[in-house]
Structure 1
Amino acid sequence: MSRPSAQTKRLQQIDGWVFPYICACFTFWRWLMDLIFRPDIKTAPKNIIFLKLAEQGSTVLANEAIRQAVAKVGKENVFFLMFEENRFILDVMDLIPRENVLTIRTKSAVSMVTSCLSRLWEIRRRKIDVCIDMEFFARASAIIAYMMGTRMRVGFHCYFGEGPYRGNLCTHRVLYNSHMHASKTFLSLVRALDNDPDAFPTFGFTPPAEMSLAHFKPEDSEREEVAAMLRELAGTDASGRTRRVILLNANASDLMPLRRWENSNYVELARRLLETHSDIAIAFTGGPSEAEKIGKLVAEVNDARCFSLAGKTTLRQLLIVYGLAEILVTNDSGPAHFAALTPVDVVVLFGPETPLLFGTLSPRNHNIWLGLACSPCINAWNNRQTACNNNLCMKNIPVSQVFDTVCSVYKQRTAHLQ
């Protein structure tokens, strides 16, 4: 059985049916308390906590936002609250002390609630000044942010927009800009602390053109161990060197089916790449839960130079694999952003969301997006829900286009060997 945190549809239903009423009640309570106590919302903060429960890819995009928070209050005074299964990438980015990463257990609904309450009590004891809510329009995060007891809360407010109602629980109510890349959107939340709370939605901050990106640096011993594994699985070419590896992330789980490119397309892509390039090996990646399905795809390819890595590596080892590989082909998902921390070229297939907002920050990123009239259909305004049940935006991406893109990138990467 999947963790409650992975049951996206159910969480969205609870967020839409139950939490608006709680937000309304808390909004009235806040209005009453503010009349009595008049909290200080203008004195510069001494410590900050980020709230981003899910989506590790978004954590990667928040790199510059976290860095600027560190510059503002010091590394030891920046905290993060997230689901326990998502902390890995924050540890890899190494922006804040590991002991400052507070996690919520998600093995069951009961543990999720009790763990969340425990963390809220811990945060209140620490007397943290600011909570930066990086969830777009989730009501649950607005409630959690308010319950932290911080004197300042920064988050998105829809004003006259179409975003979901989440009460009036933030002191710094930032207008969500649906035309700005997510990395700049997250940065704006930190910079909102420099703005007069009473001035919003007016906010005279211009995001920088370029955003910083973290880099993953494994230990030499780790790299050697993974390189030996790849050498055994990929084999060697005529010169005795490990074959160059192209990775395919078929994303065979059912978590976000609208983002998936058909498995048969990955099989065809693998066959064509192997037929065209005699010096490469193809590795399918995936988690332990995907190992059986990935194994079947490898069997369909039916080539000795094609193998599965699903369930055979830790997440940290997978990042090392990215760094040793030539190209990763993946849909719009966490691995695309993880790979951006490494030297690998990434070909990312977009459909129900747009690379204009959620593309990776890597200079070696290559997006494929058809730009259909109905795409993107998933966005912050609709709480990332859609009525679509036929993802033509992904189905209509031809294997030939992905193949041509991969071949072009591979030619550029190996040009110095010609």
Structure 2
Amino acid sequence: MDLPAGILTLQRTDRWVGVPLCAILTLLRRIFECARRPGPHQVRRILFVKLAEQGSTVLAYPAIRRAIDMVGRENVYFVVFEDNRFILDAMDLIPEGNVITIATHSLFGFTFSTLRSVLQVRKIGIDAVVDMEFLTRFSAMLTFATGAKTRVGFHTFFGDGPYRGDLMTHRLLYNPHLHTSQMFEAMVEALTRDPAVLPTFEFTPSASQPLPKFRPSLSEVAEIDALLRRENPRIGSAPLILLNPNASDLLPLRRWPAMRYVELARRLLERYPDLFIGFTGSPAEAVPNNRLADEVGSSRVIPLAGKTTLRQVLVLYTRSEILVTNDSGPAHFASMTPIHVVTLFGPETPALFAARSPNAIALWAGIACSPCVNAYNNRQSVCRNNLCMQAITVDDVFQEVTGIYDSLKRTTSGN
């Protein structure tokens, strides 16, 4: 289970190019910012840097809401990789024009759009940046390049993580015992504190945090109903359980063995004669995912991978009862809807990355070597055999799914 070439290239570039550049920028900072007055500055416009992983953007919802409370919706901005802006638009928190994108399809496009985004941020007059990336060097350099007087980000004080220079004015420790959404909230709160006292500051993130809500239009619901009928005319208003077999290429170790989704689908269909199963996935996952759907060998299976836009996937969640997925973006997208979600964790821990929805259940085997990827190792692992995911059996998932589904049926019949 090797990482894709593109991801490996980004990681190696971040290391071999990022380290010397961070060192150079740190030297420049000490020369040109040495006379700047310490202490908190007035914050009028806040920029978030969260380039990748749309699921983490959903977890940042409470932090973004806090920033909006501080400076107003029209004064909150976001820098994100172009392919990851969708979820920001779906959350509908900030104006679409406040989302600044960086292209990643080619080196030239990446370089050009990065420079363009820096110039755009400087033209806007951003005075505070929150770097929500986990100890990546590119985001630290980008944050510094904005010229903002206040820059919040994670810092490795004792070599306890990847070197990324000393480019933040408000330096925080990455806390591996605090849920990611709470850590993001603490980063925004740090904007109000004197940097001289950081990383220590008295702030307790709320245990119960607000969740983003996705509300499709009636026409969008009708569109999904039409899609389902087109793919399988028999479905009508029958209950639907969705299976999402693949995690993203960012971390292939998160994948549950594909044939277990097939076995799970067969057992669910056998137990519930009225149930339909949908296999979902991105266009890049369409061929293998839809092949799995065919492998089930049932007329009550609907292959949906590659046949929906990301927004249509959210609408599909509002039509469905349960989603079973690896630890990936869909688990967090689904938390914006009423669907129940069973998420399978292995190389990462649900204690930090589980969806915050009350309808979300995390399955994690908890073997000795899991979790093996984290912010400190740049989310890399020597593992090439994800025993942590293989340790989650079909029986484990079947038990959770049937428990939820039976409870939903009792609730429906009780009404």
Equivalent of 1:142, from 136, 140, 143? 140
SS state at 1:165 partner: coil
Aligned counterparts of 1:81 and 1:396: Cα–Cα separation in 2 = 38
Aligned counterparts of 2:390 and 2:147: Cα–Cα separation in 1 = 47
User: Could you state the TM-score of these two structures normalised by the residue count of structure 2?
Assistant: 0.96
Aligned counterparts of 2:288 and 2:109: Cα–Cα separation in 1 = 30
Matched, 1:58 2:56: yes
Residue identity in the other structure for 1:64:
P
Equivalent residue, structure 2, for 1:162: 160
Q: CA deviation at 1:234?
A: 4.6
Equivalent residue, structure 2, for 1:277: 272
- 4+ residue runs over 4 A deviation: 234-237, 252-255
Aligned counterparts of 1:15 and 1:250: Cα–Cα separation in 2 = 30
Equivalent residue, structure 2, for 1:20: 19
Aligned counterparts of 1:235 and 1:143: Cα–Cα separation in 2 = 53
Aligned counterparts of 1:6 and 1:236: Cα–Cα separation in 2 = 42
Deviations 1:329-388 (A, max 9, x none): 000000000000001000000000000000001110011001111111010111111111
SS state at 2:375 partner: coil
Aligned counterparts of 2:206 and 2:316: Cα–Cα separation in 1 = 32
Equivalent residue, structure 1, for 2:405: 410
Equivalent of 1:340, from 330, 335, 353? 335
Equivalent of 1:117, from 115, 118, 122? 115
Q: CA deviation at 1:230?
A: 2.1
417 and 234 in structure 1: CA distance in 2 versus 1, 3 angstrom threshold: farther
CA RMSD of aligned residues (A): 1.5
Residue identity in the other structure for 1:195:
R
Aligned counterparts of 2:336 and 2:276: Cα–Cα separation in 1 = 22
Aligned counterparts of 1:41 and 1:201: Cα–Cα separation in 2 = 14
SS state at 1:7 partner: helix
Structure 1, 211-220 or 38-47: larger mean CA deviation: 38-47
Q: CA deviation at 1:27?
A: 0.4
Q: CA deviation at 1:43?
A: 2.2
Aligned counterparts of 1:270 and 1:366: Cα–Cα separation in 2 = 19
Among all aligned residue pairs of Structure 1 and Structure 2, give the percentage whose two residues are the same amino acid. 51
Matched, 1:382 2:381: no
Equivalent residue, structure 1, for 2:79: 81
Give ranges in structure 1 of 5+ residues lacking alignment.
none
Matched, 1:368 2:363: yes
1:234–1:245 contact (8 Å) kept in structure 2? no
Q: CA deviation at 1:253?
A: 6.1
Equivalent residue, structure 2, for 1:320: 315
Equivalent residue, structure 2, for 1:69: 67
1:332–1:350 contact (8 Å) kept in structure 2? yes
Aligned counterparts of 2:161 and 2:411: Cα–Cα separation in 1 = 50
Residue identity in the other structure for 1:10:
T
SS state at 1:183 partner: helix
Equivalent residue, structure 1, for 2:182: 184
Aligned length: 410
Aligned counterparts of 2:113 and 2:41: Cα–Cα separation in 1 = 31
2:22–2:165 contact (8 Å) kept in structure 1? yes
Aligned counterparts of 2:396 and 2:246: Cα–Cα separation in 1 = 19
Deviations 1:110-154 (A, max 9, x none): 101111101101111111101110001001100010011111110
SS state at 1:179 partner: coil
Equivalent residue, structure 1, for 2:91: 93
2:14–2:136 contact (8 Å) kept in structure 1? yes
2:247–2:254 contact (8 Å) kept in structure 1? no
